Every structure is written in structure tokens, then in C-alpha cells.
DNA sequence: AAATTTAACTTGTAAATACAAGTTTAATAA
DNA sequence: TTATTAAACTTGTATTTACAAGTTAAATTT
């Protein structure tokens, strides 16, 4: 078992309290010194937790005042890595597999430059469709370099986040990444999946995600129907 | 004059070195202890600088290895607040005013909920077009609550960032914000400004930005032609 | 009563120190 | 030579202490 640092525990605790509406929007969190006493840690440690919460948009800090709970996004929080599912809240998000994970060579002219190691190992490819309240929202094509992920193609991906499987079975954690965003006209194929007409605007995200495993990156190309829902993010 | 903290100075120094390619992509920064000696500060302070740089996507940190310079985005970094202009690098970004700042009441059904104070004071409204190498990329509609910003409507906005004017003349700093992103079909009006056909996909951003001044928010509705350039961001 | 000052909070910055944990390199042993 | 071990790095986590700076509310003065 991996040891979870103290500041991370407090982060998770407070985050849980916020998303479960125990601390409501606009509420003042206990002061840093109070949190120190409550959880038996020192102020720098508490500050590390609060800093992370502020960074992730859960709170806002005000010098001399305190930390105020920020309102929860009602929209789909795909811009942040952590907890796509939880960010959608109590809505019904389901995942449907279009193409089960298969191993194949990388596409010519892949959207991101690849290392030699990645090129040699080939890629694990899968297509998924994610539906919110029955409406198809994301058409998601994932690419992972085929390194150190034994038997991944035989796993069940229904209703489970790819991130979750990588975390639970391979101890892979997403650390950060980069992305490009465009508005493009829907192709026939994409339109079929997202139930929209050809030529209608679709949001296209190209993402490269870094992990705690060196040289292991996740790539995904996401087509998003933003007719009804927006993509939401804080900064 | 406001005092700039030490960690901020080191942040700016290193950031400058990175964007000026003195530290190149993939380079290892001096170790934390070396930076301590070089700049005469302690490790927590140095770490605060590096943490901010990592957070802003300039470096990546690796335990046991060091801090590695991350490649610079070639795309347009509008997703991050700081330095839209600088993020574009050496390209020619120009701003053209479509509607000079005027004071008017808020639109009915404004994209974000407004406080009573904001509603009463009315809003400063302006429209701008931003061109990259002569090609119109952003059509930007800005809204600011009309509080404590004397004579702002008479200022020159050509070739100057709105953020810069607020910072230089009113000591207003952007602290963070939230945004929604959509892909929408271009209207006739937007198409005229962005030189694209009606119905072509456009990226639409609705942003609310928080400042160091309480109750002062900036709002903007940005229409973006992503045909040639993508919007880029790290997370 | 109203304005001002003071005190008691809050978060922000910074130092000095210690040990844990991951990475690399050099020394050692098989 | 090859494999292993140990040492010397690196960043990560955590404590303790101190003062600066912004905010609020109570006490004081006018």
C-alpha cells in the first residue's frame, strides 16, 4: 500500500465535505489554525491542502478573511483531470464501448509527437461514447502506449473510467497534461455517434496526459456535443 | 509601490529565462539547493517559485530527478489568464476596437448571475477584434461593472491589453475565474468579423474573472476562429 | 451618536531544520 | 564482465517559529 500524505488526506476530507454540501457555497471554512487543531497538523501542512483546493477551484482564499467555499460547477468538468464522473454530480453518466481495446500501430501523423519507445511498442486503441441522461455527449478515442499494461485489452471497461482501471490495476496516476481545443464541423461518423447533423459544430479536444510512470502517456481525442451542455473549467 | 515577494521575483526570473529560450525545452533547471545559493533564499521559498512555474506549465517536476523545462505552447494560450500576448510569442497580435467603451445597462439574461451592486451600477461595454498575423482570431465582448473606474471610457485601448490598463491605471489584478466553452455555428455578425461563413463552427467562451478588488468582476464573451489555430492549455 | 483607534483575529511570506523517497552514479562483490 | 550494493545526489513531506499584511469587531475618544 502506498502512503498517503497528510495534506492529501485533509484535501480529500474537505473536498468531500464540499461536494456533499456539508460546507455550502459561500461558507467560510474553519481558519487555518482551527484546522491545525482539528486535524493535528501544522499550518504549512494545512496550507498545502487549502492551496490545492483553491487550485482546483473548490475554494477561494482571501487574506485577512479566510477560505470561502466556491460554488460547484453544474456543467461538465472535463477540463480538469480529476473526477470527471464526480464533477457531473448526481446526473446519470454512462459509458458505452464502441470499439473494445485493441492493439494496433499508431496512426500516421498522430496528433502529438511520439517518443521512439512509444512508436515501437504500438498503441492500445479504444473508442467510447459517454452519455449524460441518455444523451450522447462525448465521443472519446483513447490511445495508450503498449508498455507494462499486461492483459489490459481483456478487461471490462463498461461503466468504469479508464483512469480508474489504470489506477486500480496498474497504479497509474494522471499527473497533468496539455490540450488543444477547436470547434470543427461534425463529420458523418461523429454525427452518427453524437446524434447531430453533419456539419453541425462540435468541440474537439486533443489531450496528452502525463502519468506517474515515466514515458507512459495517455492520449485522447474527444468530440463533444455542446449543444445542450457546456464544458466548464476554473483557472 | 507594492512589495513583490521573493518567490515571485524568482518565478519571474526563471519564467523570463524559459520564454527567452535561455533554458531550453528538456533542460534540467538548477536543483532547488543550487537555486537557494544562487538567489540567497531558503528551500521553501524556492519551492514556492518552482511550484508556481509547474502550475503554470513552464516546468515539470520529477522527484529524485529535478525540474525539467516544458516545451512552450505554440498555440494561443487564452485558457490561462496571464499574458495572452506573451503566450503567443513573437507573432504579431494586434487589437482593433469595434465598439469603444460605453456605459450601458446590463443585458437581460446576462450569461452570469450578477450581484445587486453590479446591477445598479450598470456596465462598461466594449467590443474588440484581435488579429494574429492579420487574420481575425478573437471577437471579444467585454463587460465590467461600473464601480471605481473613473474615466475608463475615455482611455485608449488600441494595441493594449484591457488587463494591462486595469493593472497600470487602477491596480486591478486578475486572480482567477471560471469559464464555459461551447462550439456554436457562426452568426452573420460574428462571421463578418472573423471572416468566416455563416454556420461555420466557432468556439464560444464565456468567462467570469475575479480580481483583487472585492465585488469587481470582468466578464467576457469570446468568439474564436479555430480553423487555423487551436486554443491551448495545460492542466 | 459618530468617528477613530486599538486589539484580535485572518491569511501571506520566509527562515531553519529534519527526514522520507525516488534517481543516478560510483564503488563493490559475485 | 555483470550484478549488486552503497553513497550522493534529487524532490517530497512535515515541524517549528517569526513577522507582515489585510479584515473585522470591539473599545475608546471625540
Mean pLDDT (chain A) is 84
Answer yes or no: same fold for B6-69 and B84-224: no
- Write out the CATH class of domain A84-224: alpha beta
Distances in whole angstroms, Cα of residue B161 to Cα of each of B20, B56, B83: 21, 20, 9
pLDDT on residue A30: 96
Q: Which nucleotides of C are covered by protein (CB under 7 A)?
A: 9-18, 21-24
Interface test with B, best of A5, A181, A187, A216 (most B CBs within 10 A): A181
DSSP single-letter state for residue A180: E
In angstroms, the CA of A185 and the C1' of C23 are apart by 47
Integer Cα distance of B70 and B25 in angstroms: 5
In angstroms, the CA of A64 and the C1' of D22 are apart by 5
A80-122, pLDDT tens digit by residue?
A: 433 333 344 445 667 888 888 888 999 999 999 998 888 888 8
pLDDT on residue A1: 60
Count of other CB atoms within 10 angstroms of residue A140: 22
| Residues of chain B positioned with their CB less than 8 A from the CB of A75 | 180
| pLDDT band (50, 70, 90) for residue B204 | very high
A37-64, pLDDT tens digit by residue?
A: 999 999 999 999 999 999 888 999 999 9
Integer Cα distance of B69 and B25 in angstroms: 5
A148-183, pLDDT tens digit by residue?
A: 666 666 666 555 567 777 777 777 777 778 888 899
Examine the pLDDT at B30 and tell me if it is beyond 90. Answer: yes
pLDDT on residue B74: 52
Integer Cα distance of A39 and A47 in angstroms: 13
Given a contact cutoff of 8 angstroms between Cβ atoms, the answer to whether B184 and B116 are in contact is: no
Integer Cα distance of B80 and B57 in angstroms: 10
* Cell numbers that stand for B215 in this block: 465585488
- Cβ neighbours for A176, distance < 8 A, ≥ 6 positions apart: A81, A209, A210, B60, B234, B235
DSSP single-letter state for residue B71: P
For residue A228, what is the nearest residue in chain B, using CA coordinates?
Answer: B182
B124-152, pLDDT tens digit by residue?
A: 899 999 888 889 999 999 999 887 666 66
B185 contact to strand C (CB, 7 A limit) = no
pLDDT on residue B85: 35
Q: Tell me whether residues B230 and A181 touch, CB distance under 8 A.
A: yes
Question: pLDDT: is B181 or A94 the higher one?
Answer: B181
Count of other CB atoms within 10 angstroms of residue A91: 11
Bridge partners (DSSP) of residue A125 are A102, A143
Examine the pLDDT at B164 and tell me if it is beyond 80. Answer: no
Question: pLDDT: is B87 or B164 the higher one?
Answer: B164
pLDDT on residue A79: 46
List chain B domain ranges: 6-69, 84-224
Which span out of A70-74, B72-76, B79-83 was modeled with the highest average pLDDT? A70-74
Q: Nearest-5° angle of CA A20, CA B181, CA A76?
A: 25
Regarding beta strands B174-185 and A231-234, do their DSSP bridges make them parallel or antiparallel, or are they unpaired? antiparallel
A5 contact to strand D (CB, 7 A limit) = yes
* Cell numbers that stand for B40 in this block: 540567497
pLDDT on residue B198: 95
* Cell numbers that stand for A113 in this block: 509527437
Examine the pLDDT at A28 and tell me if it is beyond 70. Answer: yes
pLDDT on residue B80: 43
Given a contact cutoff of 8 angstroms between Cβ atoms, the answer to whether A205 and A225 are in contact is: no
B65 contact to strand C (CB, 7 A limit) = yes
B40-60, pLDDT tens digit by residue?
A: 999 999 999 999 999 888 999
pLDDT on residue B52: 94
Extended strands (E) in chain B: 59-62, 66-69, 93-104, 123-132, 135-145, 174-185, 201-211, 217-224, 231-234
Q: Which CATH number fits domain A6-69: 1.20.120.720, 3.30.70.1230, 1.10.10.10, 3.20.20.370?
A: 1.10.10.10
A63 contact to strand C (CB, 7 A limit) = yes
Integer Cα distance of B71 and B77 in angstroms: 13
Residues of chain A with pLDDT > 90, as a percent, come to: 49
pLDDT on residue A56: 83
- Cβ neighbours for A38, distance < 8 A, ≥ 6 positions apart: A30
End-to-end CA distance of chain A: 33
Amino acid at each position: 500500500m502506498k502512503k498517503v500524505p497528510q495534506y492529501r488526506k485533509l484535501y480529500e476530507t474537505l473536498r468531500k465535505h464540499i461536494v456533499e454540501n456539508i460546507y455550502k457555497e459561500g461558507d467560510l471554512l474553519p481558519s487555518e489554525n482551527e484546522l491545525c487543531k482539528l486535524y493535528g497538523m501544522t499550518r504549512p501542512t494545512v496550507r498545502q491542502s487549502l492551496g490545492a483546493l483553491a487550485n482546483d477551484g473548490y475554494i477561494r482564499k482571501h487574506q485577512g478573511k479566510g477560505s470561502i467555499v466556491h460554488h460547484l460547477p453544474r456543467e461538465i468538468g472535463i477540463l480538469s483531470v480529476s473526477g470527471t464522473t464526480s464533477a457531473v454530480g448526481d446526473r446519470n453518466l454512462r459509458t458505452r464501448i464502441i470499439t473494445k481495446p485493441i492493439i494496433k500501430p499508431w496512426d500516421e501523423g498522430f496528433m502529438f509527437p511520439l517518443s521512439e519507445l512509444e512508436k515501437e511498442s504500438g498503441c492500445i486503441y479504444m473508442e467510447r461514447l459517454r452519455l449524460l441522461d441518455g444523451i450522447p455527449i462525448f465521443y472519446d478515442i483513447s490511445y495508450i502506449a503498449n508498455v507494462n499494461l499486461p492483459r489490459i485489452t481483456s478487461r471490462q471497461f463498461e461503466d468504469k473510467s479508464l483512469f480508474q482501471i489504470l489506477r486500480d490495476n496498474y497504479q497509474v496516476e494522471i499527473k497533468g497534461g496539455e490540450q488543444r481545443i477547436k470547434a470543427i464541423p461534425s463529420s458523418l461518423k461523429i454525427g452518427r455517434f453524437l446524434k447531430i447533423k453533419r456539419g453541425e459544430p462540435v468541440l474537439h479536444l486533443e489531450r496528452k496526459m502525463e502519468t506517474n510512470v515515466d514515458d507512459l502517456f495517455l492520449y485522447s481525442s474527444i468530440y463533444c456535443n455542446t449543444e445542450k451542455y457546456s464544458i466548464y473549467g476554473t483557472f
